């Protein structure tokens, strides 16, 4: 039995798409796409014997699709336009764009299979030289108009996105101000309560533990709130980085000290290496410390209790300052590396992880490394990741 020839049908109307597939599937292997871009994606993976395409698609016109197909596979693939418009001008533009013919709608189910066989057998419809020139000129004018409309729509969408971004940043900033004062007051009272409970030997130890848990939770909430606001403001270029000469080693050591207790509790060791710890750079010390803190937290969460040492390296490559934080923990798949700095991405199973900046497999909002990347970019640097290392280069 001869192998069926393949037809790719591009049509946004589901009813028409299903109808044509049912009519053709006994004689042909039918691939379908619901828009032009999907059709082009299919074409790049598998070359059919013939393409049927509607001329009025929501994303790309039939003329554009025909031109793109010709650019991808050349002149050998027959393209047949399907249109409900029977005007001579529409048909001529389709032929000028590279179609070998057209089929008018509504579809005649009795003749469609035979018509497809005719086109596969070499049937073509051609324009006269004068008609070809005129149709090509009209098609170019149509494509230019479509391009102008697309550019205008993109400009409008970009303006709307910028307005939404400004509104989001303003909202987050306002929320942070509204929350910061009561959080600060509450944290102060909780700290006082913890101190008083710890100083009273008659207090039930469970109450001391609960008070400490409340203090830790408030601190975590405060940290998350700050990270969200910093990320939003950095994304909107609304953070004023207070650049001043700073000793990078001092900033790194301050960030490391934040996790001293957690490292001891988890039986982990952090090893410092490199020969540029005493390097003075122009930086915003507070932002840089936040970036280093997030890098360390990320490595701690990826390392099991008592696991291999975490590395913190400050050195130079080609006169560019590099900071590398490495771990030998849970690892990451190579295809996930490009996603690490995307907002809200995490490679930890949300069903297994728990909220923590220092526990093994601890969960966060998935913005820690995004904040790192934005801070580094504000310092004219870049951030990247390999299988074991997250690194930054500072300009």
Domain with residue 231: its CATH number is 1.10.287
pLDDT at position 244, please? 92
Instruction: Mark which of 213, 235, 257 sits at the end of a domain.
Output: 235
194 and 321, same domain (yes or no): no
285 and 312, same domain (yes or no): yes
- Asked if residue 190 belongs to a domain, the reply is yes
Check residue 237 and report its DSSP letter.
Answer: T
321 and 218, same domain (yes or no): no
Give the count of domains, the chain: 3
DSSP H helices in the chain: 14-24, 36-45, 62-73, 88-97, 112-120, 129-199, 205-235, 248-258, 260-265, 285-302, 368-378
Contact predicate 11/32, CB 8 Å: yes
Q: Which residue has 């589901």 as its token pair?
A: 14
pLDDT in tens, 124-141: 877 666 666 766 676 677
173 and 229, same domain (yes or no): yes
- Asked if residue 105 belongs to a domain, the reply is yes
262 and 377, same domain (yes or no): yes
153 and 267, same domain (yes or no): no
28 and 119, same domain (yes or no): yes
pLDDT in tens, 298-349: 899 989 999 999 999 999 888 888 999 999 887 777 777 778 888 777 766 6
Instruction: Mark which of 196, 215, 235 sits at the end of a domain.
Output: 235
In order of 17, 118, 262, 271, 283, the CA distances from 276 in angstroms are: 64, 74, 26, 15, 15
Distance of CA 63 to the CA centre of its chain: 31
Residue 125 CB partners (closer than 8 Å, separation 6+): 95, 100, 101, 102
116 and 43, same domain (yes or no): yes
- Asked if residue 143 belongs to a domain, the reply is no
Distance of CA 68 to the CA centre of its chain: 26
324 and 374, same domain (yes or no): yes
Domain boundaries, position 206: 148-235
CATH assignment at residue 291: 3.30.565.10
* DSSP assignment string, 244-310: EEEEHHHHHHHHHHHTHHHHHHTT--EEEE-S-TT-EEEE-HHHHHHHHHHHHHHHHHHS-TT-SPE
Q: What share of the chain has pLDDT > 70, as a percent?
A: 85
pLDDT in tens, 10-47: 999 999 899 999 999 999 999 999 998 899 999 889 88
pLDDT at position 2, please? 64
- Three-state DSSP at 178 gives helix
CA distance 116 to 103: 9
380 and 266, same domain (yes or no): yes
CA distance 80 to 93: 12
pLDDT at position 57, please? 84
Instruction: Mark which of 235, 270, 301 sits at the end of a domain.
Output: 235
101 and 24, same domain (yes or no): yes
161 and 302, same domain (yes or no): no
- Asked if residue 135 belongs to a domain, the reply is no
- Asked if residue 260 belongs to a domain, the reply is yes
């Amino acid at each position: 039995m001869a192998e069926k020839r393949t037809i790719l049908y591009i049509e946004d109307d589901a009813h028409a798409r299903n109808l044509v597939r049912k009519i053709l599937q006994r004689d042909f292997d039918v691939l379908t796409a619901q828009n032009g871009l999907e059709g082009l994606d299919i074409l790049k993976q598998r070359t059919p014997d013939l393409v049927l395409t509607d001329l009025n698609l929501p994303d790309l016109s039939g003329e554009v699709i025909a031109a793109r197909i010709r650019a991808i596979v050349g002149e050998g693939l027959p393209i047949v336009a399907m249109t409900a418009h029977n005007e001579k001008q529409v048909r001529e533009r389709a032929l000028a764009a590279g179609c070998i013919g057209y089929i008018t709608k509504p579809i005649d189910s009795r003749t469609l299979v035979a018509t497809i066989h005719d086109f596969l057998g070499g049937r073509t419809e051609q324009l006269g030289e004068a008609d070809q020139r005129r149709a090509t000129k009209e098609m170019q004018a149509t494509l230019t108009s479509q391009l102008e409309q697309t550019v205008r729509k993109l400009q409008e969408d970009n303006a709307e996105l910028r307005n939404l971004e400004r509104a989001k940043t303003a909202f987050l900033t306002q929320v942070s101000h509204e929350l910061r004062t009561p959080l600060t007051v509450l944290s102060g009272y909780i700290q006082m309560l913890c101190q008083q409970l710890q100083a009273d030997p008659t207090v039930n130890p469970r109450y001391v533990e609960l008070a400490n848990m409340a203090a830790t939770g408030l601190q975590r909430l405060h940290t998350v709130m700050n990270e969200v606001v910093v990320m939003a403001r950095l994304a909107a270029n609304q953070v004023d980085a207070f650049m001043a000469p700073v000793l990078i080693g001092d900033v790194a050591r301050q960030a490391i000290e934040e996790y001293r207790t957690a490292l001891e509790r988890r039986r982990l060791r952090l090893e410092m290496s490199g020969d540029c710890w005493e390097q003075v750079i122009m930086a915003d010390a507070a932002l840089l410390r936040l970036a280093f803190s997030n890098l360390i937290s990320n490595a701690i969460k990826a390392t099991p209790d008592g696991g291999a040492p975490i590395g913190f390296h400050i050195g130079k490559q080609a006169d560019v300052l590099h900071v590398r934080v490495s771990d030998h923990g849970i690892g990451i798949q190579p295809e996930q590396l490009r996603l690490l700095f995307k907002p809200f991405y995490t490679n930890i199973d949300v069903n297994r992880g728990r909220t923590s900046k220092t526990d093994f497999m601890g969960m966060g909002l998935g913005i820690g490394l995004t904040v790192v990347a934005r801070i580094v970019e504000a310092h004219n640097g870049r951030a990247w990741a390999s299988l074991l290392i997250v690194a930054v280069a500072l300009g």
